[in-house]
A and B are shown apart, each in its own frame.
Chain A
Amino acid sequence: MSTTQTSGIGLRPDKLVIQLTVIAVVMFGFGYALVPLYEAFCRVTGFGGKTDVIAEVEAQQAIALNRDVAVTFTSHSHTSLPWEFRPLTKGLDVKVGEVQDAYFYVKNYSNRPITGLSTFNVTPPRAGFHFKKTECFCFTQQVLQPGEEREMLVRFMLDSALPEDVHELTLSYTFFDNEKYAGK
C-alpha cells in the first residue's frame, strides 16, 4: 500500500495511521463529552444563570438576614405553544435566607391536550447560583387539557452567599411545546 522511505521518525506508517484515526474518533467523542462537561461546568459555576435546588427542610432552617433583594418574575410562552403564561406574583421584596412563594398562571387555549416544559434563567447570571428552589413546576412536564388553566408554585430562597452588590434580580420562565418529547 504505502511507499516507505528510509528517513523519518521511524514509526511504521500503518501504526501511525491507526493512532491518528484513534485521535479522530476520540475527538468525535469529545464533542459529545462537551455536553455533560458543559452541564457540570454550569452547575458548579452558576454560568448561564442556572439556579440551584435544595431540600425543603434545609431551606426552612436557613436564617433570614436583614438584607432586601427585589425579585422580579417574568414569563413567556414560546410562539409554537398556544398557551397563556404569566406571573401572578409580579415581584417580591425578599430577605436573604427567607423562604418565599411565587405563583404563575397558565392556560391552554387550544382544543387539544398539550405537554409543555418550561426553562428558567436568572439575571444577573452570577446570582443564579444563589437562587435556591425547593419546589418548581419547571422540573417536570406539564400536561394541560383543552381550555385547562392552572396556578403554579415556585418556592425559593436566596442564600446568604449572594454577592453583596446584587440588590435586584429577575427570574424568567419560558414554556416550550414539549409534545415531541412527551412520555420521555
Chain B
Amino acid sequence: MSETAVAHGHDHHDHDHKPSGFFRRWCMSTNHKDIGTLYLIFSLTMLFVGGAMALVIRAELWQPGLQFVDPHFFNQMTTMHALIMVFGAVMPGFVGFANWMVPLMVGAPDMALPRMNNWSFWILPFAFTILIISFFVPGGAPAAGWTLYAPLTIQGGMSVDMAIVAIHMMGISSIMGAINIIVTTLNMRAPGMTLMKMPMFVWTWLITAFLLIAVMPVFAGAVTMLLTDRHFGTAFFNPAGGGDPVLYQHIFWFFGHPEVYIMILPAFGIISQIIPTFSRKPLFGYSSMVFATAAIAFLSFIVWAHHMFTVGMPLQGELFFMYATMLISVPTGVKLFNWVTTMWRGSMTFETPMLYAIGVVFLFTMGGLSGLMLAITPADFQYHDTYFVVAHFHYVLFAGAVMAMMGGAFFWLPKWTGHMYNETLGKIHFWLTTIFFNITFFPQHFLGLAGMPRRYADYPLQFTEFNQWSSFGAFGLGLSQLLFVYIVVSTVRGGKKATTEVWDNPEGLEWTVPSPAPFHTFDQPPVVR
C-alpha cells in the first residue's frame, strides 16, 4: 500500500459537541464512534453470557455421569452458547470495529447512514432479550443445536419460535450494518483513497458485508420456512407432509459456511493491520491479499455440503465438495504466507497486539489444518459430530476471530480512549488466554479422534482425563477474561497519555487524528496521496 499523507489543520478543538444526557448521547446516537462503542460493549457482554454457559457445559463434563444439570438443560446450554457467541459476540464485535475504524480509515466524517446505524445497533438488545427470555417459557430454551436442524425444531416448544424471531431481528440488524459499511466504503472515501489504497481491514469488511447481504436473507428464509412448518401447515422440511429434512441442511449450510467466513474475514483484516505496524514494514503482497480475500468469499458459496458428508450424497457430490473445500486452503495459504513474509526481516517488537496477531496466525493455521482433515470425505465419516469438529471450530473461531478482536482492542484502545493500556497486564492476558485456550481445546482433538460425540451431557469412563484437562482449561480461560475487562476499564479511566501516532510510525489515517479520537473527525476530508 502506498504512503498516505494527510492535510492537517482540521478540527483540533476540544469541545466535541457531544449530545447531553445519557439517553440522547447513547440511545439516540448517530455517531459512528459512540455506536461502535455500544457494539463493542454489547459484544463483550455477550461473550460473558455465552461464556458462562460454556462453563456450565464444562462443569458437567468434568466427570462422567450427570452431576449438575439434566441432559435437556445441557442441550439448551450448547445451543444457546453457540447462538449467543456467533450472533451476539463475534458478529456484533466485528461490526463494532467496523463502526469505529472504517470511517477513520477511509477519512470519512461518519458512516454513510447514521440513523440506520442507530437502528441496526438498538435492534440487537431486543433480539437477545427475546432469545434469553426463552429460557423461562415452558420447555426451556431451544435445545436442538445452533444449526436448528429440522425436523427436531419442528417439534419443540415456544422457545423455538422466539429464537426464530430473534434470528430475524439480528438478521435485519446485520443486513443494515452491512449496507451501511458498503455505502460508506464505496461513497465516502477521502479524495485520493482509491479502492486499492484502502487498508486491508476495510477491504475485508467490504467483502464480508457483501457476504452478509447474500446469505443472511437465506437464513431468514430457512427459519421462516421452519416457522410456517411449525404453525401454518406448510411442509418444507416435515416428512409427514412430504417435506425433506435434508433440504433444511442444504439451505442452512448454504448460509452457514459463508457465515463462518463472515466471522473470520474481518479478523484477517485486523491481523493485516497489526502485523505491518509492529514489523515496521508495509504489508507484503497487498493486492494478492485483496484477491485472496475475494477468492475465499467466492469459494465459500460452493463448499457448504462438507458439513453434510454423512447425509447420503452421491459419490460425485462428496468428491466435488471435498475438492472445493480443499481449494479454499489455497487463498488462505496465500494470506498466511503474506503475513509471515511481512514479519520476515522486519524490525519486530512484541507489544500485546502483536502477540495476539502472531498467536492468531499460529493457532488459526492449526484450525485450518484440522479443517483440511475434516474435508477429507472418508475421514469425515469418522470425525463428523465428534469433539474433533468442536476442537476445529474453536481453533478458528476463538483463536481466530475472538483473539483477533482482543488484539484489535489492544491495538486501537489508545486511539479510542486516549490512554495507553498497561502493557505488562496486556501481555499476561495474552499468555493466560493462549495457554488456557490450548489446554481447553487441544485435548478435544484426541477426544474426537477417540470417538467422543459432541452435544452429550455424559461420556464413557475412558474419556475422563482429556475432559478434565478441557474443563480445567475452560475455567482458566473464562477467569482470564476478567483481566481483560479490568485492563479495558482501567484504560478508559486513565493511564499514560497516548500520542496521536500511538505506535512507532504506523500507517493509516486513523493515526493522524488525536488520541482519543475526537467526537467529530475528518469534517474536512484529508488528502491521500
Residues of A within 8 A of B (CB): 1-9, 11, 13, 16-17, 20-21, 23-32, 34-35, 38, 45-49, 78, 80, 117, 119, 125-126, 174, 176-178, 180-181, 184
Contact = CB atoms under 8 A, between A and B. Distances in A.
Interface stretch (B241-249, B261-269, B407-415, B477-485): B241-249
B254 A3 contact: no
Contacts of B217: 24-28, 30-31
Given A5-B189, A125-B312, A16 B220 contact: no
B222 A31 contact: yes
A42 B213 CA distance: 28
Contacts of A49: 312
5 contacts: A32-B221, A35-B225, A126-B315, A178-B241, A181-B242
A23 B214 contact: yes
Contact of A13 (B112, B195, B219): B112
Interface string B183-196: 10011111111010
B250 interface: yes
Contacts, number: 138
Given A47-B313, A181-B241, A8 B186 contact: yes
A180 B241 contact: yes
A5 B525 contact: yes
Contact of B254 (A25, A34, A181): A34
Nearest to B239: A119
Contacts of A6: 191, 525
B247 A176 contact: no
A8 B188 contact: yes
Given A20-B182, A38-B250, A174-B239, 10 more contacts: A2-B114, A2-B183, A5-B191, A8-B187, A8-B188, A17-B183, A20-B178, A28-B218, A176-B240, A181-B241
Given A32-B225, A119-B239, A181-B241, A7 B218 contact: no
B115 interface: yes
B460 interface: no
Contacts of B108: 3, 5
Contact of A28 (B178, B221, B240): B221
Given A34-B254, A45-B314, A181-B233, A27 B183 contact: no
A28 to B, nearest CB: 4
B292 to A, nearest CB: 22
Given A28-B218, A32-B225, A13 B314 contact: no
Classify chain B: how many residues form its interface, as a range: 35 or more
A27 B114 CA distance: 25
Interface string B207-236: 000000111111111100100000001011
A31 B189 contact: no
Nearest to B311: A48
B250 A34 contact: yes
B225 A17 contact: no
Given A3-B188, A5-B525, A38 B244 contact: yes
Contact of B314 (A35, A78, A125, A174): A125
A127 to B, nearest CB: 11
B213 A20 contact: yes
B186 A176 contact: no
A67 to B, nearest CB: 22
Nearest to A80: B240
B317 A11 contact: no
B114 to A, nearest CB: 8
B179 interface: yes
